[in-house]
C-alpha cells in the first residue's frame, strides 16, 4: 500500500521523537489521526466549541476570553451608570454596552440550547436534552444573564437595572475553576455549614434572652423585647459591634464579654470549614488531572493505584515561558517530563516534532543514561511535571514490575525508530559505568 510522502514523513518524525525522548502514544495517535474518522456536523462542532475546547490558543479559549471580557464590561458599565455625573455624560454608551451584552448572551444561550441535543450522558431525546440544560444551574444563569437585564431596561427602572444587571457576573462560574471549586466545597460541606448556622441561631437566641432579662427594665427602648435584643446579639456575635445598642449594667457587660468570645468562635468555625474544603477541592482537582495524565502514560498504565500515587509524590511542577529552551541537544538526561498544559517543539537532527497537553518525553534517555538527542523549546507558556533522574532510577529499583515494563517499552520503541535508535544506543554508556545520581 502506497503511503503519501507527507504523511510518511510525519509518522517517521513522531517515531523519531518517541525513540529519542520517550514521546507518549497519545502524541503518535494525534499525529497519525489528526481528524476523526467521521467529521461531526455543525451542531457537534458548535457543542465542542462551547463546552469542550478550553485548550490554550484554541478557538474555544478565544471564545471564553471574549465572553469573560463582555461580562466584565457589562458589569462595569452597570456600576459606573450608578454615578450621576458619569451617567449624565456617558449614559448612552452604558446603555449600548448593556444592549450589546444582552444580545451576545442571548445568542450564546440559543447556541447552547440548540447544540446540546444528543450530548447528554444519558440516552435522551433532543427535547429532553434541551430541557435538561434549561433547568440546570448553569442553564438558568445563562437565561437570567440576558433576560433579567432586558426586563430592567424595558421597565426603565434604574434600581431594578442595578439589581438585575449584576446577574451576568454569575456566568463566570462556568469559566472560573476557582469559583466552581468554591461552589463544590460549599456543596460538599453544606450539612456542616447548616449545623453551624443552627448553632449560631441558638447562640443569638441565648444571649438575646439573657440581655432581655437583664436590661429590659433599664433600657426598654433597646432591650424591651427579645427581637430587639437579638439585633444586639447578632452584631456582637458577628464581631461588628455598631455601638448603637450596648448594655449598661455590670451583669449585662459581663454577658457581652462571653458573647464576644462566642462570636469569635462562631465566625472562625465556618470560615475554617469553608477554607479547608476549598483547599481540599483544589487539591482533588489537581490530583484528578495529574492522576489522569499519569494513568494514560503507557509506562504507568499497568501500575496499581498506590504505585501511581507513589509516583505523584515524586513529581515537581515547573512552568516555562514561550520561547524558553527546556533542554538542549547534547545535555545530560536529568529528568522525565510530562506536559500538563501548553506545547513544546522538539528539534531533531532532521525534523521538528510538536507535543501538547497530556504527552510526555525523556524516559528513554534516562533509562539508557544517554545525552539528549534534540533541543526542546516551549512554543507557548507551558506547565510541566518533572520526574528527576535520581527519583526515576530509585523508582524502577523499588518497583521491579515497573522496571521490567520500562525496559520492555523502551526496547519496543527503539526497535521501531530506525537509525535514530541506533544512534542513541551508540551514545549510551553501560549502566554499571555510570555513577549513581
Pairing outcome for strands 382-388 and 316-320? antiparallel
CA distances from 358 to 17, 176, 331, 403 (A): 15, 21, 24, 22
In Å, the largest CA–CA distance within the chain is: 102
Q: What is the pLDDT of residue 413?
A: 55
Q: What is the pLDDT of residue 22?
A: 45
Please state, in angstroms and rounded to a whole number, the distance separating the CA atoms of residues 81 and 89.
Answer: 10
Q: What is the pLDDT of residue 310?
A: 74
pTM higher than 0.75: no
Q: What is the pLDDT of residue 39?
A: 45
pLDDT in tens, 123-155: 778 888 889 888 888 889 999 999 988 988 888
Please state, in angstroms and rounded to a whole number, the distance separating the CA atoms of residues 203 and 157.
Answer: 41
Please state, in angstroms and rounded to a whole number, the distance separating the CA atoms of residues 159 and 66.
Answer: 28
Q: Please choose, from the candidates 212, 221, 210, 215, the residue with its C-alpha nearest in 3D space to the C-alpha of residue 248.
A: 215
Hey, what's the cell of 143? 437565561
Distance of alpha carbon 123 from the chain centroid: 28
Residues 6 or more apart in contact with residue 164 via CB below 8 angstroms: 148, 149, 151, 152
Please state, in angstroms and rounded to a whole number, the distance separating the CA atoms of residues 3 and 32.
Answer: 12
Q: Which residues pair with 332 in a beta bridge?
A: 371
- How many residues belong to the chain? 437
Q: What is the pLDDT of residue 296?
A: 60
Q: What is the pLDDT of residue 416?
A: 53
Is the distance from CB of 346 to CB of 376 less than 8 angstroms? yes
Hey, what's the cell of 309? 500515587
Q: What is the pLDDT of residue 293?
A: 66
Q: Please choose, from the candidates 44, 51, 170, 49, the residue with its C-alpha nearest in 3D space to the C-alpha of residue 117.
A: 44
Identify the segments of the chain with pLDDT beneath 70: 1-40, 52-58, 121, 289, 292-303, 358, 363, 405-407, 409-437
Q: Please choose, from the candidates 198, 192, 267, 209, the residue with its C-alpha nearest in 3D space to the C-alpha of residue 237.
A: 267
The secondary structure of the chain, three-state, reads: CCCCHHHHHHHHHHHHHHHHHCCCHHHHHHHHCCCCCCCCCHHHHHHHHHHCCCCCCCHHHHHHHHHHHHHHHHHHHHHHCCCHHHHHHHHHHHHHHHHHHHHHHHHHHHHHHHHCCCCCCCCCCHHHHHHHHHCCHHHHHHHHHHHHHHHHHHHCCHHHHHHHCCHHHHHHHHHCHHHHHHHHHHHHCHHHHHHHHHHHHHHHHHHHHHHHHHHCCCCHHHHCCHHHHHHHHHHHHCCCCCCCCCCCCHHHHHHHHHHHHHHHHHHHHHHHHHHHHHHHHHHHHHHHHHHHHHHHCCCCCCCCHHHHHHHHCCCEEEEECCCCEEECCCCECCEEEEEEECEEEEECCCCEEEEECCCEECHHHHHHCCECCCEEEECCCEEEEEEEHHHHHHHHHHCHHHHHHHHHHHHHHHHCCCHHHHHHHHHCCCHHHCCCC
Q: What is the pLDDT of residue 264?
A: 85
CA distances from 343 to 53, 317, 354, 382 (A): 16, 15, 7, 6
Amino acid at each position: 500500500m502506497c503511503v503519501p510522502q507527507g504523511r510518511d514523513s510525519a509518522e517517521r518524525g513522531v517515531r523519531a521523537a518517541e525513540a529519542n525522548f520517550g514521546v507518549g502514544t497519545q502524541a503518535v495517535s494525534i499525529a497519525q489521526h489528526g481528524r476523526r474518522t467521521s467529521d461531526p456536523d455543525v451542531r457537534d462542532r458548535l457543542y465542542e466549541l462551547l463546552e469542550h475546547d478550553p485548550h490554550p490558543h484554541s478557538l474555544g479559549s478565544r471564545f471564553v476570553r471574549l465572553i469573560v471580557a463582555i461580562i466584565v464590561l457589562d458589569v462595569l458599565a452597570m456600576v459606573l451608570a450608578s454615578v450621576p455625573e458619569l451617567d449624565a455624560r456617558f449614559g448612552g454608551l452604558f446603555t449600548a454596552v448593556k444592549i450589546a451584552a444582552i444580545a451576545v448572551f442571548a445568542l450564546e444561550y440559543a447556541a447552547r440550547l440548540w447544540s446540546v441535543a444528543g450530548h447528554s450522558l444519558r440516552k435522551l431525546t433532543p427535547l429532553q436534552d434541551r430541557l435538561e440544560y434549561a433547568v440546570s444551574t448553569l442553564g438558568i444563569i445563562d437565561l437570567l444573564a440576558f433576560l433579567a437585564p432586558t426586563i430592567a431596561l424595558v421597565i426603565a427602572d434604574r434600581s431594578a437595572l442595578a439589581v438585575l444587571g449584576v446577574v451576568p457576573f454569575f456566568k463566570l462560574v462556568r469559566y472560573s475553576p476557582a469559583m466552581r471549586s468554591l461552589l463544590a466545597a460549599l456543596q460538599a460541606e453544606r450539612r456542616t455549614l447548616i449545623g453551624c448556622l443552627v448553632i449560631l441561631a441558638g447562640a443569638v437566641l441565648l444571649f438575646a434572652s439573657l440581655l432581655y432579662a437583664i436590661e429590659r427594665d433599664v433600657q426598654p427602648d433597646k432591650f424591651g423585647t427579645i427581637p430587639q435584643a437579638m439585633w444586639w446579639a447578632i452584631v456582637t456575635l458577628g464581631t461588628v459591634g455598631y455601638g448603637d445598642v450596648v448594655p449598661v449594667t455590670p451583669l449585662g457587660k459581663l454577658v457581652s464579654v462571653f458573647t464576644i468570645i462566642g462570636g469569635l468562635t462562631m465566625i472562625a468555625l465556618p470560615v475554617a470549614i469553608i477554607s479547608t474544603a476549598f483547599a481540599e477541592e483544589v487539591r482533588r482537582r489537581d490530583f484528578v488531572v495529574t492522576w489522569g495524565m499519569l494513568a494514560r502514560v503507557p509506562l504507568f498504565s499497568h501500575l496499581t493505584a498506590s504505585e501511581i500515587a507513589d509516583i505523584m509524590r515524586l513529581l515537581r511542577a515547573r512552568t516555562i515561558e514561550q520561547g524558553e529552551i527546556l533542554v538542549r541537544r547534547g545535555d545530560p538526561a536529568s529528568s522525565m517530563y510530562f506536559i500538563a498544559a501548553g506545547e513544546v517543539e522538539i528539534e531533531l537532527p532532521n525534523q521538528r516534532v510538536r507535543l501538547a497537553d497530556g504527552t510526555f518525553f525523556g524516559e528513554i534517555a534516562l533509562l539508557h543514561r544517554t545525552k539528549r538527542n534534540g533541543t526542546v523549546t516551549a512554543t507557548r507558556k507551558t506547565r510541566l511535571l518533572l520526574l528527576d533522574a535520581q527519583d526515576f532510577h530509585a523508582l524502577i529499583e523499588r518497583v521491579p514490575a515497573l522496571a521490567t515494563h520500562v525496559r520492555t517499552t523502551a526496547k519496543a520503541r527503539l526497535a521501531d525508530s530506525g537509525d535514530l535508535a541506533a544512534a542513541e544506543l551508540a551514545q549510551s554508556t553501560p549502566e554499571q559505568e555510570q555513577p549513581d545520581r
